[in-house]
Amino acid sequence: MLGSPDSAAADPHDERARVLGLVQRFGWNATSFQVLEPGYRYFFADGAAGVAFVDTGSAWVAAGAPLADEARFADVTAAFMRAARAANRRACFFATEDRFTRQVRLRSLLIGEQPVWEPARWDAALRSRSSLREQLRRARAKGVRVRVSDARAAAAAGTALRDAISGFVRRWQGARELAPLGFLARVDPLAFLPDRPVFLAEQAGRLVGILSVAPIHGREGWLLQNLLRAPDAPNGTAEALFDAAMRDAAARGLTFVTLGLAPLAGPVARPLRVARHAGRRLFNFEGLRAFKAKLEPARWDPVYLSFPEDTSAARAIVDVLAAFARGNFFRFGIETLARGPALLVSLLALLLVPWTVLLACCEWRRWFPHPAFKWGWVAFDVLVAAGLFTLRRRWRASLAYLLLTAVGADAVATAAEAIWWNLPRAAGAVEGGVLVAAALAPIVAALLLAAALHRHAVVAVPGPFIGGERASSA
C-alpha cells in the first residue's frame, strides 16, 4: 500500500519480491539483507523507497536506514514517522550509520561499533598477527576443515545436510543463557539461503561450526551474520570459518566485509558503559568486541540509534530492547529463567544468606516444634548455599544433581512441616506470607536447577554428523 505499512491482505511473496528489489538496489547498510527474514513489516513510501521495521505494540523500530536513494533519506524518514504516529506508535531507527545521520534531522545515540575488513588485505593481516596463525594451526591440527556448502542442497527440506544444520543451531541456542532474540539478532543460517553461501566447519565429519553470509549489495560486500561454534569445537574453529570466508570474499572481488555490530563498544555514553559492565553475566559485550578486534579489522565504524527530538534516549532504548525481546519483556524473561542461567544459580545462593540468618535469629517456639528442627534447617541451608556458590564457580553435573535432590526433598519437607505445624498456629497475613515464601522458594529453586541441568546436558551432546555417518577429516 502506498504510504502505509503492509496490510493483512498483502501477498507476502509479492511483498518480499518488492523488498528484495529495494535491497538489491539500495541495500547499503550492513543490516539491509536481514530485513528479508521472517518477522518484519514494511512501509513503502512509493515504488522506489521503503522501510523495514518490527512493531513492538508501542513502537515501530526500523532495521537500519530506509531502503532508498541517499538523497531521499529525509523525506522517506519523515513519511515513515508520520505513518507511525497515525498508527499510535513511536518510531526509531536502529543500527544507522554516518551516511544516514548526516542526512536526517534526528537525534543519534552511539550504541556500538562494527569492524570492517578489506578481503584483499586479509593475507597481510594474518602475516602481522602470529596469534591468529596459531589458532588456524590448532584447528587444522585437530582435523577441522571448512567448506562452502551448496546453497540449494543446504536449503532443501528433508536432506541430511539441512537436518544437521538445523540440529546444530538448536544445540547452539540451547547452550545460550538468554532466550532466543528477535529483530536483527535472529539466528537462522538457512533463511533465504539460495542467495548466499554458508560455510561449514567439520571435524571427522561432525559439524562443529557454521558461518552464514548476507550480501551487502550497495557496498560490494558481505555481512558475516551467524558465526556459530559448538561448545566442544576445537580452538581455532571460529577463526578457521572467518579465514575461509575472507578468502572466498577476496576471490569474488568483494571490497567490504563486516561481522556486524559490537554492541556498546567504543566511546558510548556513560549509562551505556554502566549497562555494558552490569550486563556482562548475561551477555559478554567486552568479550565479543575483543574477539572481533583480534581478527585485525581495517577500521571500526560507528553505529547509532536514531530517534525523534521529542523522544527520550531512554524511551528509544526500551523500544529497541522490546524489538529484540520479540515484543514481550515478560515472556522473554520467563523463557530466560526457564533456561536456568548461571546468574540465577548465584542469585539463589545469595538469597539463601539473609534467609539463613533470619532463620538462625528467629524464636524456635513460634516456628518449630523443637530447637533441633530450627538448627537442622539452618545447617541444611548453609550446606545448600555453599553448594550453589561452588556450582556457580565451576559447573559439575554430579553436584547439580545432588543439590537438585536436596532442594526437592527440602520442598517436600517444608510443605509437610507448614501443613502439620505452622498453618494451624499462623497468626495474620504476615506469617501466612512467610509460610508461602518458605514453601515456594525450594520449589522455584528446584525448577531452576532442573533447567540448568537440562541446558548443560544439551551442551554436552556431540554435534551431528553430516550425512549421518562419520567422514574423513583429511
What does 384-450 look like in DSSP terms, one character per residue? HHHHHHHHHHS--HHHHHHHHHHHHHHHHHHHHHIIIIIGGG--HHHHHHHHHHHHHHHHHHHHHHH
C-alpha cell at 117: 575488513
Instruction: Please report which helix (H) or strand (E) contains residue 92, including its range.
Output: strand 90-96
Give the residue with greater pLDDT, 417 vs 221.
Answer: 221
In sequence order, which ranges of 264-367 are alpha helices (DSSP H)?
A: 270-278, 285-294, 313-324, 329-338, 342-361, 364-367
Tally of domains within the chain: 3
Same domain, 106 and 196: no
pLDDT tier, 470 (very low <50, low <70, confident <90, very high otherwise):
very low
Same domain, 142 and 202: yes
Cα distance between residue 283 and residue 325, in whole Å: 14
Is the residue at 332 inside a domain? no
- For residue 258, give the nearest of 222, 303, 294, 210 by alpha carbon: 222
Is the residue at 335 inside a domain? no
**pLDDT tens column, 236-288:** 999 999 999 999 999 999 999 999 999 999 999 999 988 888 777 667 888 88
Which percentage of the chain shows pLDDT scores above 70?
Answer: 89
What per-residue confidence (pLDDT) applies to 3?
Answer: 52
Is the residue at 330 inside a domain? no
Cα distance between residue 397 and residue 406, in whole Å: 14
- Please check whether residue 60 is in contact with residue 53, taking contact to mean a CB–CB distance below 8 angstroms: yes
Is residue 468 scored above 60 in pLDDT? no
- Please check whether residue 375 is in contact with residue 362, taking contact to mean a CB–CB distance below 8 angstroms: no
Same domain, 107 and 123: no
What per-residue confidence (pLDDT) applies to 474?
Answer: 27
What is the pTM assigned to this prediction?
Answer: 0.78
Residues 6+ apart with CB under 8 A from 127: none
Same domain, 240 and 126: yes
Is the residue at 233 inside a domain? yes
Same domain, 104 and 123: no
Is the residue at 13 inside a domain? yes
CB neighbours of residue 465 within 10 Å:
16
Same domain, 180 and 76: no
**pLDDT tens column, 377-393:** 999 999 998 988 888 77
Cα distance between residue 234 and residue 208, in whole Å: 8
CB neighbours of residue 105 within 10 Å:
11
Is the residue at 414 inside a domain? yes
Same domain, 179 and 55: no
What phi, psi does 370 have (nearest 5°)? -160, 150
221-229/256-258 β-pairing: parallel
Is the residue at 299 inside a domain? no
Residues 6+ apart with CB under 8 A from 419: none
Same domain, 148 and 196: yes
Same domain, 98 and 133: no
Same domain, 370 and 403: yes
Range of the domain at 433: 342-460
**pLDDT tens column, 25-79:** 999 999 999 999 888 999 999 888 999 999 999 999 999 999 999 999 999 999 9
